[in-house]
Amino acid sequence: MANPTNVPLKDYRNIGIIAHIDAGKTTTTEGILYRTGINHKIGEVRGDGDGATTDWMAQEKERGITITSAAVTCFWKGHKINIIDTPGHIDFTAEVERSLRVLDGAVTIFDGKMGVEAQSETVWRQANKYGVPRICFINKINQTGGDFYKSLQSIHARLSKNALPVHLPIGFEKDINGLVDLVEMKAYTYNDYTDKALIEGEIPADMLEKAANARALLVEAAVEAEDELMDKFFDGGVEAITVEELKRGLRKRVLAGDFFLVSGGDGRGVIVEKLLDIMTDYLPSPLDIDAIWGVNPKTGDQVSRKPDESEPMAALAFKLATDPFVGKLIFVRVYSGKLTAGSYVLNTTTGEKERVGRIVRMHADKREEIDSVSAGDIAAVVGLKGTFTGHTLTEPAHPIALESITFPDPPVSIAVEPKTKADQEKMGVALGRLAEEDPTFRVHTDEETGQTIMSGMGELHLDILIDRMKREFNVEANIGEPQVAFRESIKGESAVQGKHAKQSGGRGQYGDVWVRFAPNEPGKGFEFFDEIKGGVVPQEYRKPVEQGIKETLDGGVIAGYPVVDVKATLYDGSYHDVDSSELAFKLAGSLATREGIKQAKPILLEPVMKVEVTTPEDFMGDIIGDLNSRRGRIDAMEDLMGGAKLIKAYVPLASMFGYTGDIRSMSQGRAASTMELAQYEEVPPNVAQEIIEKRASK
């Protein structure tokens, strides 16, 4: 099929494929690329073949998982579809987050043998957060244990009651050989899932009643979109609504973001053509998305941009990748105007002007050079040196700053040191590059030990980064044990004096402050208040006091971990005409902090993970006992498809290292778990004491 060059904007689709790990996102993407003529064969996610197109990193091919979101472009029946295949593993949740920020619609894939799984709920919540309209595809229903209707029930129970089938499968498990299209009321079948085309025909007699009932529900949902359709429906019933009206009503319902159409089948097979049809029929084009709003950085006024080529150019950088051939690639979503190769753009996040080198359309790791990219489209740009994830690019004459993308702080850290002198320099470069690409990966040097500390979202996340450092940058390194990112805070209040006075011959140093410390709301961080009356502490010395307090809090007071969620109020003090200086007041602020935190009932906080375990019933007792022994709190238990059980618990991260291996051996490899950061909570005093002593002994 020829790729149309001038596709109108109404026929663009920017779509993410989101799901729990192993539901078949990447395989379905492969099926789509094969059916749209981009690929000449279907890549396998696992096995010895060439691997999937979108899983192009060596680590993805080996582990059979998706780590980075890959962008591909394909064409279907005159539509241009930009697809982003996102990771399912919780450690790479940032990849899903940043992809959803720039996508207009999404296809949520479910494993038909498992129904809704833990990570399905997480990606669903992320899509809700960004208001992304979705359709659902229940994959693997042709495999043993696959069940379209039970999976649909689990969507109703755990995600939304507003999910209705638009297709019904013909057959059950391995005998599935097609589907009934409820909008057209036709059957589409195949002899083998690898067939070149679907066979259109009549609905099997034994499915007519079921199909008619399911279609009636679709019509009832569709007419809610328009008063005109509702009136027509009341007058003439289901029969009065035409296929075109049904499609129009359903599309409006889907675009509202709280109604979902459901299909199902084998993501590798010819049935994907029907999935492509509903992607193009019901998911939004850039024109269906409202104008985006941002702030004019010069005036602070709210300004908007419509998805129109004639508007001033505005684009958001949502991903960075290092390409071995062209260097740094910045993936951008253009919201308005036109981004042209060779032009100059303003990065409103940094305030710097940059020159756009080349623009390339990405097909996973292959590139096709293009001259420009217009409103509503996604492409990658080469040559931007100071642009990173979440930055806005605009025409210099018409600046706008779009809302950036926020990422959680990484809870797991490890120490890493180069094996040789030669590795040392390379490691600095490698870590810098990887941190540029991945906003949830942080690197810093521990001032006390001089060690380089890597922080990430989980053990797998750090594992992959170390592997990439070795392969892509040839850096050999020694790795320490995983460490938890503890925090310090306070439960009480205190009012203390911090006085730094040295007067021994010559000019002395004098700074004297009184500061009140109190707990702040969780998540609010550090806030500084100035309540100085008169000039007891001159204006120019107050900022250094705040600096002294902040630096001391960052370095920790009781165990060397950053102190969070504290309010500090400067309310009194004194100064000396000759001996006072900014440095003296900074030191006074620091002294007050050390004493004030110790007097305000200091506590240690630890990251607590939301853990979800899916297990056969036989192993449930052992798994619950084990979670309790790890200081876990069991939150809920639910029944899943196929007699499996779901256990939800909150467990401190400190006791969860190596859990994946432990749970495998406890359940003969049949249980699986996911965990994500829930919140920071106070460490019990006896455990806190151990941590403080261990930290002091280092």
Alpha-carbon distance of 166 to 528, in angstroms, equals 56
Per residue in 138-181, pLDDT (tens digit) is 988 888 888 999 999 989 988 889 999 999 999 888 888 889 99
Domain residue ranges in the chain: 9-288, 292-402, 414-483, 492-600, 606-697
Closest CA to 97 of 84, 80, 110, 109: 84
pLDDT band at 67 (very low <50, low <70, confident <90, very high): very low
Closest CA to 677 of 603, 624, 605: 605
Average of pLDDT values for 10-36?
A: 76
Mean of the per-residue pLDDT values of the chain:
82
Alpha-carbon distance of 364 to 17, in angstroms, equals 14
CATH class held by domain 492-600: alpha beta
pLDDT band at 325 (very low <50, low <70, confident <90, very high): low
Alpha-carbon distance of 87 to 82, in angstroms, equals 16
Q: Is the pLDDT of residue 389 over 80?
A: no
Alpha-carbon distance of 81 to 285, in angstroms, equals 10
Pairing of strands 344-347, 401-402: unpaired
Per-residue b or e along 563-595, where b marks 16 or more CB atoms closer than 10 Å to that residue's CB: bbbbbbbbbbbebeeebbbeebbbbbbbbbbeb
Note the helical H segments in 391-474: 421-437, 459-473
Number of Cβ within 10 Å of residue 329's Cβ equals 24
> Which pLDDT value is given to residue 678?
83
Q: How far is CA 56 from the centre of its chain?
A: 20
The answer to which of 58-72, 168-182, 400-414, 528-542 has the lowest mean pLDDT is 58-72
Per residue in 633-671, pLDDT (tens digit) is 999 898 876 677 889 999 998 888 888 778 888 888 778
Pairing of strands 526-530, 566-574: parallel
> Which pLDDT value is given to residue 366?
61
Please report how the helices 25-35 and 272-282 are oriented relative to each other, as an axis angle in degrees rounded to 10. 90
The number of helices, as runs of H, and strands, as runs of E, in the chain is 16, 38
**Do the Cβ atoms of 249 and 282 come closer than 8 Å?**
no
pLDDT band at 442 (very low <50, low <70, confident <90, very high): confident
> Which pLDDT value is given to residue 652?
93
> Which pLDDT value is given to residue 527?
94
> Which pLDDT value is given to residue 52?
42
Note the helical H segments in 173-226: 208-223
Alpha-carbon distance of 572 to 590, in angstroms, equals 15
Alpha-carbon distance of 674 to 22, in angstroms, equals 12
Average of pLDDT values for 574-594?
A: 92
pLDDT band at 586 (very low <50, low <70, confident <90, very high): very high
292-402 shares its CATH topology with 606-697? no
Q: Is the pLDDT of residue 41 over 70?
A: no
Per residue in 298-311, pLDDT (tens digit) is 888 888 888 888 88
214: which residues sit within 8 A by CB, 6+ positions away?
A: 164, 165, 168, 182
As to burial, measured by CB atoms within 10 angstroms (0-12 exposed, 13-18 middle, 19+ buried), residue 50 is exposed
**Do the Cβ atoms of 111 and 23 come closer than 8 Å?**
yes
Q: Is the pLDDT of residue 673 over 60?
A: yes
Assigned CATH for 292-402: 2.40.30.10
Q: How far is CA 561 from the centre of its chain?
A: 27
> Which pLDDT value is given to residue 295?
85
Which 3 state secondary structure label does DSSP give 74?
strand
What predicted TM-score, i.e. pTM, was given to this entire model?
A: 0.68
Average of pLDDT values for 216-233?
A: 89
Tokens at 71, concatenated: 């962008």
Please report how the helices 582-599 and 542-555 are oriented relative to each other, as an axis angle in degrees rounded to 10. 50
The domain defined by 414-483 carries CATH number 3.30.70.870: yes
User: What is 606-697's CATH number, 3.30.70.240, 1.10.10.10, 2.40.160.40, 3.10.580.10?
Assistant: 3.30.70.240
Per-residue b or e along 464-473, where b marks 16 or more CB atoms closer than 10 Å to that residue's CB: bbbebbeeeb
Per residue in 476-529, pLDDT (tens digit) is 888 887 788 889 999 999 999 999 988 766 678 899 999 999 999 988 889 999
Alpha-carbon distance of 381 to 369, in angstroms, equals 10
**Do the Cβ atoms of 613 and 671 come closer than 8 Å?**
yes
Per residue in 596-631, pLDDT (tens digit) is 999 999 999 998 988 888 888 889 999 999 999 999
The domain defined by 9-288 carries CATH number 3.40.50.300: yes
Average of pLDDT values for 560-564?
A: 90
The β-bridge partners of 115 are 111
Tokens at 309, concatenated: 């080529």
pLDDT band at 46 (very low <50, low <70, confident <90, very high): very low
Alpha-carbon distance of 356 to 254, in angstroms, equals 37
Which 3 state secondary structure label does DSSP give 591?
helix
Phi, psi of 570 (to 5 degrees): -85, 115
**Do the Cβ atoms of 570 and 528 come closer than 8 Å?**
yes
Tokens at 372, concatenated: 């420009």
Alpha-carbon distance of 342 to 387, in angstroms, equals 16
